[in-house]
Structure 1
């Protein structure tokens, strides 16, 4: 990446003000920042799963991106393995998509198909697709802040399996958050995603070194000419 030295000498993350052109709601920005900041990624995963950081022994991004060789069609979902026994797929959905339900099921099934022909079925890893969105993706659905979808028996509502599911974090419905959502820091993360100015982001990041690191990475890409061209190309493509 190529930096604009004159600009960055005048501005830093700490002194930046006004609108953030490319926020965490840019899927390429989100992917790049999360793969660079292990602490922030761990915090997000813990919030989405409702677990403690001490439960995370290993968190591996299996599809890292390289901004120097990224094309506009690059898939921006973040694919992770957690503790070598669980697959997580985190995606941002910031545009309307009438086929989202079909697409999300397809992506989940592809991720769940994670063993070779000669491997035992017992080695299949639990798989969850996490969608972070500001869109109304499911028409007629009850408004929820954090919805979890699983295979269940239609009559008894008993769970068929918890190894296969889709969770949707609806950023526009923080007013529907439960105490559990708040305690798990999901509302905090929702506010980070929705922050559109440096003032908003820095207020949220204060006293959170991992999020301050995220802010620094966002700043670096917003003031890097080459990175901005890539981000703009991705935005136009979407």
Structure 2
């Protein structure tokens, strides 16, 4: 249903409450993630409040610094769909949804964080640098030997854990590990946000939000964005692009396996050739020692 057919917020709420079945696109689609958070300030504020453990009363303003026109196509060169938020005019928060594991997230997220941390205006003292948070929502396990639902990383002393600065923060939320959310994660409602992002049906969304009224606005924004044909098309384009990226990654991995196998075979053949040469030399010497010419 086109967005223009939704006549009022009450009409939209009624239609959302009567929605059933599967969503066309949930918020693990990074385009949908951006559209929902960009179009609904309430959702953005409530999410930041949960993740940063900030009372709503201290959040005076949130401004998205890299807005995208809803439904606007994004070129291949612009396929970085992170959301850069300026909180209260003095703190940068980078929010990013990532569902494909390219085995480079630690370096990639640090690169994003460092670029944003370098925010002192030219000629200004480094003490004017604004604090930065990079918040990754991952639909995979970052460290297989250390699964964690909500991890916070900072620069600290390697010996006694003394904090170097609280201006440089990297948060990782693994959407597939809500089962190991801590009591504090649950107190902040971060596990509920993760479940909302991954919900595939309207029934799931309603169940998640029924005891969490702060998420009602998010649910309605998800419905509104799913009702917009132009946004649907861009979400589909993102899924196609991700599927292509995954295929390319699998093909590259298969080529690397083939090269490794060929290398191993070559080493085996080389070893066999060396062994055969040594055996020929041994037999030749044995013949010569016995006065037999060859």
TM over 0.5: yes
Give the count of matched residue pairs. Answer: 235
Q: Secondary structure in 1 aligned to 2:38?
A: helix
Q: Secondary structure in 1 aligned to 2:136?
A: strand
More moved, 197-206 vs 221-230: 221-230
More moved, 207-216 vs 174-183: 207-216
Q: Secondary structure in 2 aligned to 1:151?
A: strand
Structure 2: gaps of 5 or more residues: 6-10, 243-294
Give the match for residue 73 of structure 2.
Answer: 70
Give the match for residue 29 of structure 1.
Answer: 32
Give the match for residue 136 of structure 1.
Answer: 141
Give the match for residue 169 of structure 1.
Answer: 173
CA distance in 2, matches of 1:56, 1:32: 21
Which structure features the higher share of helix residues? 2
* Contact 2:42–2:217 (CA under 8 A) maintained in structure 1: no
Show structure 1 runs of 4+ deviating over 4 A: 1-5, 207-210
Residue 194 of structure 1 pairs with residue 198 of structure 2: yes
More moved, 46-55 vs 169-178: 169-178
TM-score computed with the length of structure 2 as normaliser: 0.74
Task: Please give the residue correspondences for 1:95-110 in structure 2 after superposition, counting only pairs within 5 Å.
Answer: 95-110=100-115
TM-score computed with the length of structure 1 as normaliser: 0.90
More relative contact order, 1 or 2 (CA 8 Å, 6+ apart) = 1
For the aligned residues, what is the CA RMSD? 2.3
Residues 138 and 189 of structure 1: CA distance in aligned 2, closer, same or farther (over 3 Å)? same
* Structure 1 residue 237, shift from structure 2 partner: 1.5
Give the match for residue 47 of structure 1.
Answer: 50
Task: Please give the residue correspondences for 1:1-238 in structure 2 after superposition, counting only pairs within 5 Å.
Answer: 2-3=2-3, 12-73=15-76, 74-140=79-145, 142-206=146-210, 208=212, 210-238=214-242
Residues 209 and 180 of structure 1: CA distance in aligned 2, closer, same or farther (over 3 Å)? closer
CA distance in 1, matches of 2:180, 2:109: 23
Residues 225 and 52 of structure 1: CA distance in aligned 2, closer, same or farther (over 3 Å)? same
Q: Secondary structure in 1 aligned to 2:80?
A: coil
Q: Is the radius of gyration larger for structure 1 or structure 2?
A: 2
* Contact 1:4–1:223 (CA under 8 A) maintained in structure 2: no
Structure 1: gaps of 5 or more residues: none
Give the match for residue 263 of structure 2.
Answer: none
Residues 68 and 194 of structure 1: CA distance in aligned 2, closer, same or farther (over 3 Å)? closer
